C-alpha cells in the first residue's frame, strides 16, 4: 500500500473516532450505576434465625416452603457441617417365597419293551470264502446265517464273533445277543485257503 493512501485512511479513522466521542449515537442511554437488587430470604432460614421478613420483600409461599429442609440451628452458615442421618426404620419384611411347582409336561413314553428271546440256538460256526457264518437250530430246523441275512422274517444277523452272535429284532428295533458255546466258535478263528 502506498504511504500517502495509508496516511489518508488513518486520518479518516481518527476523525470518525473523535466524532463518536463528541456526539454519541441517538437512542443509546448513558451508562449509570444500576441499583442493587434485593433477594428474598428463605422463610425457613429467617424463622431459624429469628428474623422477620420485611414488608417490601415478598415471603416464599407456604406450599414452596413446606418442601424445603430446615437447617440445623447451631450451624446456619456452615455448608460443610456434619449432619447426622435419622435412624433407619425397621427393614421391610422379606417377600414371601413361592413354593416351586413341579414341571408338569407331557407324560413320558413307556420304556421300550425288550425284544423277545430269539427261537434260535447256536450249534456251530464256519468260515469260508463268503466269510464267517453260524449254524442256528430253530423252529423250522437248522439254518446257516451270514452277516446281513434275514432269519425267520424277524431277525437280521448283524455281527458274528467267536463269543457271540448279534441279531437285530426288526419289529422292536432292538438287538439280541446269542452266546456261542465254547469250542463251537473256534472255526471262526482259523482261516481257510
pLDDT confidence of 7, banded at 50, 70, 90? very high
Whether pTM > 0.75 for this model: the answer is no
d(CA 193, CA 67): 110
**What mean pLDDT comes out for the span 45-52?**
48
Identity of the highest mean pLDDT range in 41-50, 124-133, 149-158: 149-158
SS (H, E, C) 53-115: CCCCCCCCCHHHHCCCCCCCHHHCCCCCCCCCCCCCCCCCCCCCCCCCCCCCCCCCCCCCCCC
Cα–Cα nearest to 151, from 130, 132, 165, 131: 165
Q: Which residue did the predictor score with more confidence, 67 or 178?
A: 178
Residue ranges of the domains in the chain?
A: 121-189
pLDDT confidence of 94, banded at 50, 70, 90? confident
> CATH classification of 121-189, choosing from 2.30.30.830, 3.90.870.10, 3.90.230.10, 2.40.110.10?
2.30.30.830
CB atoms inside a 10 Å sphere around CB 47: 14
pLDDT over 90 at 13, yes or no? yes
Amino acid at each position: 500500500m502506498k504511504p500517502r493512501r495509508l496516511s489518508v485512511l488513518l486520518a479518516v479513522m481518527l476523525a470518525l473516532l473523535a466524532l463518536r466521542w463528541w456526539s454519541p449515537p441517538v437512542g443509546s442511554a448513558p451508562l449509570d450505576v444500576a441499583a442493587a437488587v434485593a433477594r428474598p430470604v428463605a422463610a425457613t432460614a429467617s424463622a431459624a434465625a429469628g428474623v422477620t421478613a420485611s414488608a417490601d420483600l415478598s415471603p416464599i409461599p407456604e406450599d414452596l416452603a413446606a418442601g424445603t429442609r430446615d437447617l440445623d440451628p447451631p450451624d446456619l452458615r456452615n455448608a460443610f457441617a456434619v449432619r447426622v442421618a435419622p435412624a433407619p426404620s425397621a427393614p421391610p419384611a422379606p417377600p414371601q417365597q413361592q413354593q416351586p411347582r413341579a414341571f408338569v409336561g407331557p407324560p413320558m413314553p413307556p420304556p421300550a419293551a425288550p425284544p423277545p428271546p430269539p427261537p434260535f440256538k447256536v450249534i456251530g460256526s464256519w468260515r469260508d470264502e463268503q466269510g464267517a457264518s453260524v449254524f442256528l437250530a430253530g423252529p423250522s430246523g437248522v439254518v446257516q446265517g451270514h452277516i446281513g441275512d434275514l432269519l425267520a422274517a424277524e431277525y437280521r444277523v448283524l455281527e458274528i464273533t467267536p463269543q457271540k452272535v448279534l441279531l437285530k429284532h426288526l419289529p422292536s428295533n432292538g438287538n439280541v445277543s446269542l452266546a456261542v458255546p465254547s469250542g463251537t466258535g473256534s472255526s471262526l478263528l482259523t482261516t481257510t485257503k
